[in-house]
Amino acid sequence: MAAPGPAERSRPTLLILLAAALTLLTLQVRGAQPLDAFQQGIRDIIGPVRTIVDKSTDPIQSVWSGIVNYSELQEENERLAKELAEVRGEVLSEEADRELLERLLGEIDVPYADLETVVARLLGTPPGNFGSHLVEIDKGSDDGLSEGMAVITGAGLVGRLEQVDRERSVVILATHPDFSVGVRLVESQDEGLAKGTGGYEIRLEDGVRLDAFIEEGEVVITSGGRSRFPGDIPVGKVTDPDNFAEYERIIKIELAASLENLSFVNVVTDSGSGS
């Protein structure tokens, strides 16, 4: 009888490895803490090396980015110039909106700007090829951050902390399909759950009455309460109120914060529940 070839000998090994992989996968999907801790431990070991390499290659990265993304930078430049011209023409209406927002925030006595935050620098996208709508920041549990904390900029909500290691964290952006946040419409006072779409906007699909009249441009803020985010953080403006929906209402919201050109963000360390 002939001895089995290499491919035949490897079959049991492959089956054992696949079974092990499936077991690990099942355990982690069900929330096995030791596996999470093990993964985080390895990332913490690699973390300092990443930081050193990141800092030492900063100038080269800038050159590389200039070469590879030249056309994108040119397009961005043109887009920003166009936007600036539009913004100049809309200053008055923007100011009116801001006044309305400030007045409403003042009424409920929880100033958005007074939240306790940690400033973090954006490092880029996390390793891997499919980390879309995710960004890495240079602060972690050593700086008092923990999973689920809200991430904001001066303009409004950016996302939440998804994975927190000792020296760095991953932020899931508000546009990510897994992102959801409780929001309130400032004028109509309707509340609902807004979700990321994987595109540039977020959608408010649950909670808002079908007969509630909502104006285009209405300001949307976080609702707080049972939500994991503090209340009254600006989220964005309604771009499509879907006022004539018959069965299911989908309100489109344009985010106030620009997620494309982030450099620094603020992580809200105080949930505001105590205030």
Partner 1 sequence: MTTRIRSFVVLVTAALLQATIFTEFRFLGASVEVLLLVTILAGYHGGPEHGSIFGFFASLLQDVLTGAPFGLHAMVYAPLAVGVSSLEDRLVESRPVIYGLGLGLAISIGTALAGFTGLLFGQTAITSSLLINRSILAGITSALVAAPINKIILWSLSLSTPGALELRIPGK
Among 4, 18, 48, 213, binds partner 1 (CB under 8 A): 18
What string of DSSP letters covers 3-27? PP-HHHHHHHHHHHHHHHHHHHHHH
Among 176, 237, 249, 252, binds partner 1 (CB under 8 A): 176
For tokens 């779409």, the residue is 197
Structure tokens at 192: 């609902």
CA distance 204 to 122: 28
Backbone angles phi, psi at 209, to 5 degrees: -65, 145
CA distance 261 to 253: 19
Comparing C-alpha atoms, which of 136, 157, 153, 267 is closest to residue 221? 157
Residue 129: CB minimum distance to partner 1, A: 4
Q: Which stretch binds partner 1 (CB under 8 A): 4-12, 151-159, 209-217, 254-262?
A: 4-12
DSSP run (H or E) holding 157: strand 156-164
Size of the site for partner 1 (CB under 8 A): 49
Q: How far is CA 198 from CA 49, 125, 176, 214, 256, in A?
A: 32, 16, 5, 24, 16
CA distance 20 to 151: 37
Among 66, 144, 148, 198, binds partner 1 (CB under 8 A): 198
Among 120, 150, 151, 163, binds partner 1 (CB under 8 A): 163
Among 4, 24, 148, 264, binds partner 1 (CB under 8 A): 24
CA distance 231 to 270: 11
Q: Which stretch binds partner 1 (CB under 8 A): 15-23, 90-98, 100-108, 245-253?
A: 15-23
Q: Which stretch binds partner 1 (CB under 8 A): 10-18, 74-82, 114-122, 183-191?
A: 10-18
Tell me the chain's radius of gyration from C-alpha atoms.
23
Binding track over 53-72 against partner 1, x by CB under 8 A: xx--x---x--x---x----
Q: Which stretch binds partner 1 (CB under 8 A): 28-36, 142-150, 153-161, 212-220?
A: 28-36
Residue 22: CB minimum distance to partner 1, A: 6
Residues that bind partner 1 (CB under 8 A): 6-7, 9-10, 13-14, 17-18, 20-29, 35, 39, 42-43, 46, 49-50, 53-54, 57, 61, 64, 68, 124-134, 162-163, 170, 176-178, 198
